[in-house]
């Protein structure tokens, strides 16, 4: 009934398995944190080129302002 060697071997194997799973989890968590940092940094940068939708909205607003100015000046469109 001398199972001491077997118990030690199973304990060492379990310890190594836990260490490997912890290292992989830590590496994944670190990569996830870096991804979130990059997303935050990207959201802080000013958008350099407006999208097509915002250009259309801007043109629509300019047209509305032109019409309102014409109405205020008494010009019939």
Supply the pLDDT for residue 53: 76
- Residue 17 in tokens: 């398995």
Q: Where are the alpha helices (DSSP H) in the chain?
A: 4-44, 52-73
φ/ψ of 75, rounded to 5, equals -85, 135
Torsion of CA 34, 35, 36, 37, to 10 degrees: 50
Pairwise pLDDT comparison (27 vs 75), residue with the higher score: 27
Q: Residue 34 pLDDT > 80, yes or no?
A: yes
- Mean pLDDT, all residues of the chain: 87
Supply the pLDDT for residue 25: 94
């Amino acid at each position: 009934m001398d199972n001491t060697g077997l118990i030690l071997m199973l304990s060492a194997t379990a310890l190594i398995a836990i260490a490997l799973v912890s290292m992989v989890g830590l590496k994944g968590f670190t990569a996830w944190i870096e991804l979130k940092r990059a997303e935050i940094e990207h959201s802080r940068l000013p958008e350099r080129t407006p999208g097509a939708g915002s250009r259309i909205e801007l043109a629509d607003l300019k047209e509305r302002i032109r019409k309102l100015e014409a109405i205020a000046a008494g010009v019939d469109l």
